[in-house]
Amino acid sequence: MTSTNTLPAGPAPLRVGVVGLGWMGQVHARAYTRVGQHYLDAPLRPVLVAVADNAADERLARAVSAYGFADVHADWHELVERDDIDVVSITGPNFIHRDVAVAAARAGKHLWLEKPAGRDAEETAEIAEAVAAAGVQSAVGFNYRNAPAVELARSLVAEGRLGRVEQVRITMLADYAAHPEGALTWRYQNRWSGSGVLGDLVSHGIDLGRYVVGEVESLVCDTATFITERPALTGAAFAHTARGTGALAPVENEDYAGALLSFAGGARGTLESSRVAVGEQCTYGIEVHGDRGALAWDFRRMGELKVCLDQEVTDAAFATHLVSPGDGELSAFQPGSGIAMSYDDLKVVEAHRLLRSIASGTPQGATITDALRAARLVDAMAVSARERRWVDVPA
């Protein structure tokens, strides 16, 4: 006779709806599915319930089937109004973020929202106000701060290991928009996107700087649009790689942004970002120099942190620290140094922090408050570039 052991009751279910099941929506779906596998003590168990997406194609049908969602809605309002959903992931285009997020919060649903949260700081503030009024929890997709090497960098700065921070350099370079025949999708039209590279990549970069070093108090920024016209999109594709075959029309927002930053602690910084940098793919990183040490992180070598510590300040050399268990969240994914984590893993960390926020009622990880601060800094950059002047950014 086979004996059986009674297993303890598992965590309570957290019923999930996803608005937009493109690449990022699928990243969220995978993260929800994996979070309990990496965090055995996860306080809630996500259950994928429904998707809202108006793409009537085989790709969507395959994705829905692969992830096991029970229902699909062509209208996101139907998903938000459901009584059997506790949290909504908002991963569609920028122009729906504010409307979906505010409606979901008012319906008492927690939010996992991709950046930029709103097309500008005003829309982002509306989301933040709705979240606060409803008493729900939020997570925002500033995933680069979740890398164990970045967590370690933040700790080293906070502990004073670098001494007084003097210089910061942030880089966010990509080539996804470098092809001149890239279609004029919503990303290049301000009424749909709100901005160009400022909302897309600079928002990530400014969050990285804030997280590792501290608040930015003032800045001056220059922007440029290098590909000023793009061919109209003739199909229904929305991917970065979509090619246009229609008539040329103006690009309304910036390809490039460069800024000088003044941090609250007295450090000075630079931020450079481009979506048309030929030869660069995901060249995202931060360097910090203090009066006693320095560090540098490159997303393409996510598991490494370059450190220059505990040496004479002249002729000092960098060494490479391979993140190890104890650095950030690495131990939830890998047992030892040198075993790589992935982009998707950073989103699992994000999902776990959202679950902990919901279970405890205390925000953890990047939230709508961080998104609002980033949006205000991005708006300040736009003002600076337009008016050709330094801009103060109140805390």
The DSSP letter of residue 182 is B
* Half-sphere exposure in the Cβ direction for 57 (13 Å, CA): 8
Per-residue pLDDT, 245: 77
Per-residue pLDDT, 237: 52
3-state secondary structure of 163: coil
Same fold, 12-143 and 145-341+366-392: no
Q: In the structure encoding, which two tokens stand for residue 95, read together?
A: 């122009």
Per-residue pLDDT, 244: 81
Are the beta carbons of 14 and 80 closer than 8 angstroms?
A: no
Q: In the structure encoding, which two tokens stand for residue 265, read together?
A: 């602690």
DSSP class per residue in 214-258: --EEEEEEEEE-SS-EEEBP-SS--STTPBP-S-EEE--S-SEEE
3-state secondary structure of 319: strand
What does the pLDDT average to over 239-256?
Answer: 87
Q: Is the pLDDT of residue 238 over 60?
A: no
The predicted-structure confidence for 157-212, as pLDDT tens digits, reads as follows 999 999 999 999 999 999 999 999 999 999 999 999 999 999 999 999 999 999 99
The predicted-structure confidence for 50-64, as pLDDT tens digits, reads as follows 999 998 778 889 999
Q: In the structure encoding, which two tokens stand for residue 79, read together?
A: 């998903």
Per-residue pLDDT, 22: 93
Q: In the structure encoding, which two tokens stand for residue 158, read together?
A: 């906070």
For the chain, domain boundaries? 12-143, 145-341+366-392
Q: Measure the CA–CA gap between 368 and 157, rounded to whole angstroms.
A: 24
Task: Specify the pTM.
Answer: 0.95
Q: Is the pLDDT of residue 2 over 80?
A: no
Per-residue pLDDT, 253: 98
The predicted-structure confidence for 81-130, as pLDDT tens digits, reads as follows 999 999 999 999 999 999 999 999 999 999 999 999 999 999 999 999 99
Per-residue pLDDT, 7: 65
Q: Is the pLDDT of residue 325 over 90?
A: yes
Band the pLDDT of 236: cuts 50, 70, 90: low
- 378 sits in the region (left: phi over 0; alpha: psi -120 to 50; else beta) called alpha
What is the CATH code of the structural domain delimited by 12-143?
3.40.50.720
Q: Is the pLDDT of residue 331 over 90?
A: yes
The DSSP letter of residue 22 is S
Q: Is the pLDDT of residue 4 over 80?
A: no
Q: Where are the alpha helices (DSSP H) in the chain?
A: 23-38, 58-67, 76-80, 94-106, 121-134, 148-158, 190-193, 197, 203-212, 343-360, 368-387
- Which fold is adopted by the domain 145-341+366-392? Dihydrodipicolinate Reductase; domain 2 (3.30.360)
3-state secondary structure of 155: helix
Q: Of 128 and 234, which is predicted with more confidence? A: 128
The H or E element containing residue 165 is strand 165-173
Residues above pLDDT 90, as percent of the chain: 91
User: What is the chain's mean pLDDT, rounded?
Assistant: 95
Is residue 116 reached through a cis peptide bond, with omega within 30 degrees of 0 on the bond before it?
yes
Q: Measure the CA–CA gap between 24 and 299, rounded to whole angstroms.
A: 18
Per-residue pLDDT, 55: 86
User: How many angstroms separate the Cα of 249 from the Cα of each of 181, 182, 189, 228?
Assistant: 12, 12, 10, 8
Are the beta carbons of 344 and 350 closer than 8 angstroms?
A: no
